[in-house]
Structures are given as C-alpha cells and as structure tokens.
Amino acid sequence: MADADRLTLSLSTGGDVVIKLRSDLAPGHVERITELTNTGFYDGVVFHRVIPGFMAQGGDPTGTGYHGSELPNLKAEFSKESHKRGVASMARSQNPDSANSQFFIVTENSPFLDNQYTVWGEVESGMEYVDALPVGEPPREPGKIVKATISKADA
C-alpha cells in the first residue's frame, strides 16, 4: 500500500492523536472524514460516549450522539480488518448504511464489531490522549477535538 494520508486530532486531553487513513479499506469513508475535516466540521466537537475498556465515540456536532453532518449517509464498507485497540471505525444506527460523521476509536480489542462497522483508520500515535478522555454516556465534562487536520501523504 502506498503511504497514506493522516488525520490529526488535537484533543483537549493534552496532545495529538495521529490516525493513518485506510482508503484501501474504506475509500468512501476516508473521503467523508477528509471532507468534513477540511471544512472544520470536527473542530470543537466532543467525545459524547466514552466507555472504559471499549471505545471513545465522537463526531456529532450537537454532542448528543443523535446527529451527523448535512451530507448523505454512507454505504457500508465492511472489511476483514479487526477492531483491535487503536482502530478508528464509523458509528451508525441499526441500518448498516447509516454512517455519516460519527466515529469511534477502539481502546480495547473488540472483535465482536468485526464485519459490522466500517474501519477507516488506525491510530499511529497518541492513544494515551484517547485513553485520557473523560468517561460517560455522556461524560459530565466531555473531552473534545480542539482541531482536526489532514496531512497528505508524500506523493
């Protein structure tokens, strides 16, 4: 695989989470994440659902877990990639084709999610800042994405 673009999430927990975008697995989802990031959609958005030993979920501009962007929902792009610690995957409703802007980062291996949620990235560095997010559904003082940026792979 050629070098991939990176998504950097600067978190309120004190540092940057760098995620390698996996367009080889989910080109439509990576395109959506990139588009939303480049418009500033994720800046200031909270992690509204953080479950210890499982995952941290964000990407809802209202912080409630019930909303997404104004763009249409995405078709599922399931793969054989396992939901191991550090994997970034799309959240969705019961409809497999309902992913929009919400995503989660797996904090403990969760193979029961495999082939049911679209994996679009993998944390390369900064998992300690994900681990430091305040817990809850929603947390009383949720952690947030201060700034999200995309860096292009060297051509």
Both tokens of residue 131?
């681990």
Per-residue model confidence (pLDDT) at position 10: 98
What is the Cα gyration radius of the chain? 14
pTM: 0.96
The pLDDT tens digits for 90-136 are 999 999 999 999 999 999 999 999 999 999 999 999 999 999 999 99
What residues does each domain of the chain span?
Answer: 6-151
Q: Is 18's pLDDT higher than 80?
A: yes
Contacts with 67 (C-beta within 8 Å, 6 or more apart), sequence order: 60, 61
Contacts with 66 (C-beta within 8 Å, 6 or more apart), sequence order: 60
Fold classified for 6-151: Cyclophilin (2.40.100)
